[in-house]
Structure 1
Amino acid sequence: MTTETSATAPAAAHAAPGIDLFSQEFAADPFPVYAQLRRSAPVHYDPATKLWLVSRDEDIRQVLLEPATYRNDNALGSVVPLRLPALRILDRAGFKTLPPALFNNSGDTHPVLRGAVLRLFSAQQVRAALPMVERITHEELDLMAEALDTTGHHDFAQGPARRIPVRVMLEMLGVPEEARADITTVADWTDAFITLFWGRTDKDRQRELALQVADFYRWLSELATRSDAPDDSLLGALARVRMPDGSPVPPEVAVAVCSNLMVAGHVTTSQMISTAVYRALESDGQWRALAQDPGLAGGWTEETLRREPSLTAWRRVTSRATTLGGVDLPEGAEILLMFTSAGTDPDAYEEPERICPMRKAGRGHLGFGLGRHRCPGGELARVEGRVVLSAAAARFPDLRLATRERPPFLELVSFRAPTRLEVTRTLSRTQGTPYAAKGSTAP
């Protein structure tokens, strides 16, 4: 297929299903659409978002391994243009656009900033953080136990899955106790951030979200100016980093790095945990298997990252005219790499729809990306997923979904997970075996 020179107006496109990337129907079950895209239009132009949708594993890997051709400069721009009221609110807070930091940086400052973050999330640092992760997990599961004893049910997605990653990231960033915002407030801020920039919202909703994002930005700006952060924290590391010209990290760049990590460290990890717990509870007998063998939690986490990564898709932009998957792309073509589709590509994985904790492919999936922009916090997220899943299954072996209805899923271009996950405990022997929910593809 050939295209015009315009990055947003191709002359033709392969036949493909009608797609609404923001719909609940697509969010709840995107797999049939992915399968049809891979078969009929693996590089497909979506006129609604003006994005080229890339759905095959091999093509996505090619893009990720050619960062000079496929740059990440557009990764943090809003998918839907922001309206004037929202822009004014952000401008008053000093937040116009996030400067290049980690996820939107193809320049020479990226290795310097990434290096500081990689040291913070090194294997050694993650091992050292394990007791902290375990402590926070057990504290949150204590609160969940109280709720179950009192009311008989609990929302796992809004409880442990949402709160644990926020608390862990506040520790890893080195935010002093007296400077910490309420856990729920921080979670609300990061949720507002992704909804504003990756959702389809009207003017009034944008204004509401912008007010929260502005508060988030002000809070991060105050943190970036503090001088009492521990040396082994991100804020402490950024204070010591020097840019390529020898200058200190500008405050707005420090804020951008912190916002990148707070959003990634909370949102994607929270959503990974929610999805992993949902699929384990949905699958006949799997939750009890995890309770009996905690060692399965690591494999279950990896399979969740492969099959249903919370970062479902990410953007790139071409720096020159190129060909991808047999499709000619002009310079400036904006691309959406569909990681969930890659993880369910039958050309890359045997029985890709099946969740198999013992799968030989192991960590070879794209749940954390690939190449120079691979997620630097991947090991910490893995630890959190493994710890929470194994601890929750051991603590509540009789946990089950409170309803057979499929939970609502987040309707954003790049993020997907259950937004609510009501759970309860088995009340009788007849309720003791977890059921397979309608439409389940897990074993």
Structure 2
Amino acid sequence: MDLFQHGPDDLRSLRAEAPVHRDEGTGLWLVSRYRDVRAILADPRRFHPDNALTAVTPIAPPVLRSLARAGFSLPPTLANNGTATHAGLRRLVAAFLTPARVAGMRPRIAELARDRLAGLTGPVADLHPALARDLPAVVLLEVLGIRDVDVAALKAWSTASLELFWGNPSPARQRALAEPAAAFHRWLTGRIRAARGDDLFGALRDVPVREAAGLCYFLLIAGQETTTQLLCAMFHAVLRQGDLWSRLGEPGVPERVVEEVLRRDPPVNTWRRVAAEPVTISGVAVPAGAHLLLMLAGTGSDPEVFAEPERLCPARANSRQHLAFGFGRHFCLGAGLARLEAAVVLRETFERFPVLRLADDAEPPMLGLLSFRAPLSVRVRLDGRGPGEPVPDARGAGDVPGGGAARRGVARAGR
């Protein structure tokens, strides 16, 4: 199975035929059943997070030296920290993501969504650049109290970093990606050293700069890139399933639809752990030191837990049992914010365009990283016409605010 490009059929076969399977190409042990993945995430004593942020493709020595010269360092902080320092660092960040603080962002998220949707005049637009790409970054920065940030630069730093650490880039491509990654780290280090206020950087003033920069590096990337990915996956999933879009005006339906998308199409589709000792998983002996790849996308479609798993069902009673945000002590701190953003954006988009349709039946280009999978475009017909119906306006998508010509095929980072 190609770990950078696989689909539901691959995961279904893996669960049924080899739920614990060593991939010869990477040496990773693939774990795909819900009960096994949940048990691993719930057991930090036997399964350590040390490899969670390790580059999937080993970084070439010249690139490592270049990063070192730039002061780039990612010590254990949150996702990759199994030590006693994890809880204290987590509390510092959690103070910015309390339920009350997150709930207070609802009007602002709705305002941001409405502003972007108001600029779409049709007939065709791409909701990725027009709506999904930057909105989560703006929301995250505001909730963390961080001001004076070039959002376009943050997105460029983020996409380069995701590819560097979770893609399969060649050494030449690694060199190109290392430049923005190092630039982001330098920017963070400077902001943290100069911090005096009550934003996240200020809250980390008593944390050594090296650890604070490492914490912020992936927090500011994952905290908004995964929500962008969720929004794009959500629009595709809902618009491809019959009359589901027309139900979004019903109370509670957007929130339940978001949970179903998280269950079936999670933006973080895999995650990693290290076996701290010899273990047996579903009857398979796994040696100490083995690197495990937890197939999160496969768990949400496990028929042992979810009936008719391939169908989005807003009435599903156990949707929130999914593992899209992890489980246990490393459960995603931003889960509440991501859920709120997705539900608000979905509702606002429905209210603005109650008869929205996908512009065509073609599969969109996909982000193809080991742990991140999502559509890179969401081309829609704002006039509600279906694929193949006549277009009343001769302009192409590129002439429409927020529109863009869709690329075909799968964009596999670094390939």
Alpha-carbon distance in structure 2 between the residues aligned to 1:294 and 1:424? 25
Question: In structure 2, how many angstroms separate the alpha carbons of the residues matched to 1:428 and 1:136?
Answer: 26
8 Å CA contact 2:146–2:200 kept in 1: the answer is no
Q: CA deviation at 1:157?
A: 1.9
For residue 21 of structure 2, what is the aligned residue in structure 1? 44
Supply the distance in 1 between the matched residues of 2:146 and 2:194 (Cα, whole angstroms): 9
Residue 423 of structure 1 aligns to a residue whose secondary structure is strand
3-state SS of 1:336 partner: strand
Q: 2:406: which partner in 1?
A: none
CA distance in 2: counterparts of 1:224 and 1:140, whole angstroms:
31
1:388 aligns with 2:370: no
Deviation at 1:176, TM superposition (A): 2.3
Give RMSD over aligned pairs.
1.7
Distance across 2 between alignment mates of 1:397 and 1:60: 38
TM-aligned CA distance change 1:92 to 1:424, over 3 Å: farther
Instruction: Give, in angstroms, the shift of residue 272 of structure 1.
Output: 0.6
Residue identity matched to 1:223:
R
**Residue 397 and residue 86 in structure 1: after superposition, are their counterparts in 2 closer, same or farther (change >3 A)?**
farther
Distance 1:333 1:401, change over 3 A: same
Whole-angstrom CA distance in 2 between matches of 1:428 and 1:277: 16
Q: Is the 8 A contact 1:174 1:229 kept in 2?
A: no
Q: Please tell me whether residue 354 in structure 1 is matched to residue 300 in structure 2.
A: no
Q: 1:14 is matched with which residue?
A: none
Is 1:235 matched up with 2:206?
no
Question: Are the counterparts in 1 of residues 4 and 369 from structure 2 also a CA contact under 8 Å?
Answer: yes
The answer to whether residue 148 in structure 2 is matched with residue 166 in structure 1 is no
Shift of 1:326: 1.0
**Contact 1:57-1:342 at 8 Å conserved across structures:** yes
Task: Work out whether 1:128 is the aligned partner of 2:128.
Answer: no
Instruction: State the 1:347 CA deviation.
Output: 0.6
Matches within 5 A, 1:105-120: 105-120=81-96
Amino acid of the residue matched to residue 119 of structure 1?
A
Give me the whole-angstrom Cα distance separating, in 2, the residues matched to 1:272 and 1:254: 27
- Partners of 1:39 and 1:427 lie apart in 2 by 40
Q: Report if aligned partners of 2:357, 2:385 keep a CA contact under 8 Å in 1.
A: no
Partner of 1:22: 4
Q: Where does residue 84 of structure 1 map in the other structure?
A: 61
Q: Supply the distance in 2 between the matched residues of 1:354 and 1:323 (Cα, whole angstroms).
A: 32
**Quick check: 1:210 aligned with 2:183?**
no
Cα deviation for residue 331 of structure 1 reads 1.1
Map 1:1-400 to 2 at 5 A.
19-23=1-5, 26=6, 30-95=7-72, 97-143=73-119, 145=120, 148-149=121-122, 152-177=123-148, 180-181=149-150, 183-230=151-198, 233-239=199-205, 248-290=206-248, 292-293=249-250, 295-400=252-357
Residues 294 and 218 from structure 1, CA distance in 2 versus in 1: closer, same or farther, beyond 3 angstroms? Answer: farther
Aligned to 1:437: none
Number of aligned pairs?
A: 389
Is the Cα–Cα contact under 8 Å of residues 364 and 376 in structure 2 kept in the other structure? Answer: yes
Secondary structure, counterpart of 1:253 in structure 2: helix
Q: How far 1:428 sits from its partner (Å)?
A: 5.7
What per-residue deviation string (whole Å, max 9, x for no partner) do you get for residues 244-287 of structure 1?
Answer: xxxx2111111122122112211111111110011111222222
Q: Conserved in 1, the CA contact under 8 Å of 2:276 and 2:288?
A: yes
Q: Structure 1 residues 427, 264: closer, same or farther in 2, change over 3 A?
A: closer
Equivalent position SS for 1:328: strand
Deviation string for 1:46-82 (max 9, x for gaps)? 1212110000000001101110100001100001111
The Cα offsets for residues 357-387 of structure 1, whole Å up to 9 and x where unpaired, read as: 1210031111111100100110000000101
Aligned counterparts of 2:225 and 2:358: Cα–Cα separation in 1: 22
* Secondary structure of 2:105's aligned partner: helix
Classify 1:399/1:46 alpha carbon distance in 2 versus 1 (closer, same or farther; 3 Å). Answer: same
Structure 1 SS opposite 2:374 = coil
- Amino acid of the structure 1 residue aligned with 2:215: V
Q: Distance in 1 between matches of 2:377 and 2:385?
A: 24
Q: Once structures 1 and 2 are overlaid, which stretch shifts more, 273-282 or 131-140? A: 131-140
Contact 1:75 1:103 in 2 (8 A): yes
Once structures 1 and 2 are overlaid, which stretch shifts more, 110-119 or 221-230? 221-230
For the Cα contact (< 8 Å) 1:43–1:52, is it kept in 2? yes
Any idea what SS the aligned residue of 1:280 has?
helix
1:238 shift after superposition: 2.0
Does the 8 Å contact 1:175/1:223 carry over to 2? no
How far apart, CA to CA, are the structure 1 residues paired with 2:8 and 2:168? 21
* Structure 1 residue 431: Cα displacement: 5.2
3-state secondary structure, aligned to 1:302: helix
| Paired residues of 1:172 and 1:234 also in contact (CA < 8 A) | no
Shift of 1:226: 2.5
Once residues 259 and 309 of structure 1 are traced to their aligned partners in structure 2, the CA distance between those partners, rounded to angstroms, is 22
**Following the alignment from structure 1 to structure 2, what is the Cα–Cα distance between the partners of residues 52 and 135?**
45
CA distance in 2: counterparts of 1:74 and 1:227, whole angstroms: 30
Structure 2: gaps of 5 or more residues: 391-415
> Cα offset for 1:235?
2.2
Kept in 2, the 8 Å contact 1:190–1:266? The answer is no
Deviations 1:86-139 (A, max 9, x none): 3233223211x4111100000011000011122211111111222222222222
Contact 2:263–2:319 under 8 Å retained in 1: no
